[in-house]
């Protein structure tokens, strides 16, 4: 493995942990930073689970005062109450929402000259059973992909998570973990928590042998 590059930018998440900027998410971050100067009423950020799109949605919600709407609970008659007097909304996992109320939400925000941030596993063009009017509106709005975190981003995240727990680890541990762990932010959090618990339980430092045992145990329970 080549030398790890850990000099990543950071985006304060306004109440959440720092959001780390890397090539896999830089374009999405740039679009969040462009708000409210978006070329359309909506922006869709899509990518695999654990890539950080929900975290970015939280950053946007804090910055814009957006209403955070549960996709499964969205209905046309509730749109006015869900928005209140606001001019922004976030719908996470938007492909789970029914098309008609999502279209109603889009249209309501467009009338208010507001903005709608959607996150999803796939781009809107791949969503099933989408109304033609909604599909055309989202097709005319920016759609940004977020890739799974690369080695540099995962390494920086692991160091931060260990540091949050006042734990110091060596680069040999990172080199061992990176090719063996699930490549997502949430997996990194779970792994660091598991290593911390194991180290406390066994009264030992967090080393490669301990990490191997924790990973073997995790694989054995799946």
DSSP states of 44-81 as a string? EEE-STTSSHHHHHHHHHHHHT-EEEEGGG--GGGHHH
- Taking the domains of the chain in order of start, what are their residue ranges? 25-145, 151-220
Pairing of strands 143-145, 67-70: unpaired
Identify whether the C-beta of residue 186 lies closer than 8 Å to the C-beta of residue 220.
no
In a 13 Å sphere around the CA of 131, the CA atoms on its Cβ side amount to: 12
Which tokens belong to 92?
């996470």
Which tokens belong to 214?
């924790």
The yes-or-no verdict on residue 171 having pLDDT over 80 is: yes
- How many Cβ atoms from other residues are within 10 Å of residue 145's Cβ? 17
CATH entry 3.30.70 includes domain 151-220: no
Task: Give the residue carrying structure tokens 């009423």.
Answer: 41
- Give CA–CA dist 98/190, Å, rounded: 32
CATH for the 25-145 domain, from 3.40.50.1950, 3.40.50.300, 3.40.430.10, 3.30.70.270: 3.40.50.300
Give the pLDDT band of residue 21 (cuts 50, 70, 90): confident
pLDDT of residue 18: 67
The yes-or-no verdict on residue 186 having pLDDT over 90 is: no
The yes-or-no verdict on residue 149 having pLDDT over 90 is: no
Burial class (CB within 10 angstroms; exposed 0-12, middle 13-18, buried 19+) of 39: exposed
Residues in contact with 34: Cβ distance below 8 Å, sequence separation at least 6, in sequence order: none
What's the whole-number average pLDDT of the chain?
89
Mean pLDDT along residues 23-39: 95
Mean pLDDT along residues 160-166: 90
What's the predicted TM-score (pTM) here?
0.80
Report the Cα 187 to chain-centroid distance in Å.
13
- Give CA–CA dist 74/165, Å, rounded: 38
- Give CA–CA dist 166/168, Å, rounded: 7
Q: What are phi and psi of 57, to 5 degrees?
A: -60, -40
Classified as helix, coil or strand, 180 is coil
E strands, the chain, where?
9-13, 16-21, 42-46, 67-70, 88-92, 115-120, 143-145
Task: Give the residue carrying structure tokens 């390494």.
Answer: 155
């Amino acid at each position: 493995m080549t030398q790890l590059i850990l000099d990543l930018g950071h985006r304060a998440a306004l109440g959440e942990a720092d959001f780390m900027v890397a090539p896999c998410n830089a374009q999405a971050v740039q679009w969040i930073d462009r708000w409210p100067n978006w070329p359309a009423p909506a922006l869709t950020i899509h990518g695999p689970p654990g890539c950080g799109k929900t975290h970015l949605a939280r950053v946007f919600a804090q910055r814009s005062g957006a209403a955070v709407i549960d996709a499964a609970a969205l209905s046309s008659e509730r749109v006015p109450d869900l928005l209140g007097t606001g001019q922004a909304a976030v719908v996470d996992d938007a492909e789970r929402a029914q098309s008609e109320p999502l279209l109603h939400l889009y249209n309501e925000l467009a009338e208010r000259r507001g903005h709608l941030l959607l996150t999803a596993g796939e781009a809107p063009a791949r969503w099933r059973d989408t109304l033609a009017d909604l599909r055309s509106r989202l097709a005319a709005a920016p759609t940004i992909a977020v890739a799974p975190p690369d080695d540099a981003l995962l390494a920086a995240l692991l160091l931060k998570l260990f540091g949050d727990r006042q734990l110091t680890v060596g680069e040999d541990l990172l080199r061992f973990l990176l090719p063996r762990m699930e490549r997502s932010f949430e997996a990194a959090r779970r792994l660091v928590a598991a290593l911390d618990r194991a180290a406390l339980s066994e009264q030992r430092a967090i080393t490669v042998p301990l990490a191997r045992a924790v990973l073997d145990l995790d694989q054995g329970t799946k």
